[in-house]
Amino acid sequence: MLKEKISIIIAAYNEENHIKEVIDELQLFLRKNSIDAEIIVVNDYSNDSTADILSKIHDIRVINHEHNKGYGGAIKTAAKNAQI
């Protein structure tokens, strides 16, 4: 059976209190279920420590917006940059 790889997109704006936990749980789920995925997180110009937290998480792609583009803009950015 051919296993496909998927892209998972997360739009983040001022998520310093939860972003690490969400990504840790997602990565654990993917490993437990042998799912091959790229995780793309778009930091939509957060003004808290979201960018710093994301920079320390391994095995994700982080894209930082230079200004806030909103949820739709973040999703479009991730979709354009997905490698899958």
Task: Give the domain ranges of the chain.
Answer: 6-81
- pLDDT for the residue numbered 50: 98
At 1 the pLDDT is: 58
Measured torsion, CA atoms of residues 12, 51, 4, 84, in degrees rounded to the nearest 10: 90
Q: Is the pLDDT of residue 24 over 70?
A: yes
The verdict on domain 6-81 having CATH code 3.40.50.2300 is no
Distance CA 11, CA 78 (A): 8
Q: How far apart are CA 44 and CA 27, in angstroms?
A: 21
Residue among 46, 12, 45 nearest 26 (CA): 12
Confidence class for position 84, pLDDT limits 50, 70, 90: confident
Give the list of residues 6+ apart from residue 56 with CB closer than 8 angstroms, or none: none
- Which ranges in the chain belong to alpha helices (H)? 19-32, 50-55, 70-81
